[in-house]
């Protein structure tokens, strides 16, 4: 986010401020789907329709640190993670995403 102000004296805009990070806390949950092949499991994480180019994080057994991450293409809203197939039925995976949208004020 860039903030600026205008001085009326010469109607010349002031310099832009330093950039600042803005965090949005109410992003919608991604969809997750799983498919299993011979030795691998594919986990697909998909953001809501209006979110593209997000960075996705895969978490294992509700860990606080992600095990894998990858960024969707600029116009894409989903990614796939590949993990080894396991016979453990208690494994839990979840995915989260981080999304940044740049906008300008006119």
Residue-level pLDDT at 2:
53
Distance CA 101, CA 97 (A): 13
What residues form DSSP beta bridges with 79? Answer: 45
pLDDT tens digits for range 35-44: 988 889 999 9
* Beta carbons of 56 and 93 less than 8 angstroms apart: no
Scanning the structure block, which residue is given the tokens 């969707």?
72
pLDDT tens across the length of the chain (106 residues): 555 555 566 556 666 677 777 666 677 899 999 998 888 999 999 999 989 999 999 998 878 889 999 999 999 999 999 998 887 777 888 999 998 766 555 4
Residue-level pLDDT at 31:
95
Residue-level pLDDT at 54:
94
Residue-level pLDDT at 20:
74
Say which CATH topology domain 31-98 has: Immunoglobulin-like (2.60.40)
Residue-level pLDDT at 4:
56
Residue-level pLDDT at 13:
60
């Amino acid at each position: 986010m860039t903030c600026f102000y205008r001085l009326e004296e010469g109607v010349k805009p002031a310099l832009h401020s330093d950039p600042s990070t803005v965090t949005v806390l109410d992003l919608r949950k991604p969809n997750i789907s799983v498919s299993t092949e011979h030795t691998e499991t594919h986990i697909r994480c998909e953001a809501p329709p209006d979110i593209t180019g997000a960075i996705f994080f895969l978490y294992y057994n509700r860990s606080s640190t992600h095990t894998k991450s990858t960024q969707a293409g600029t116009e894409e809203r989903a990614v796939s993670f590949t993990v080894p197939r396991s016979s453990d039925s208690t494994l839990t995976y979840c995915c989260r995403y981080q999304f940044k949208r740049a906008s300008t004020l006119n």
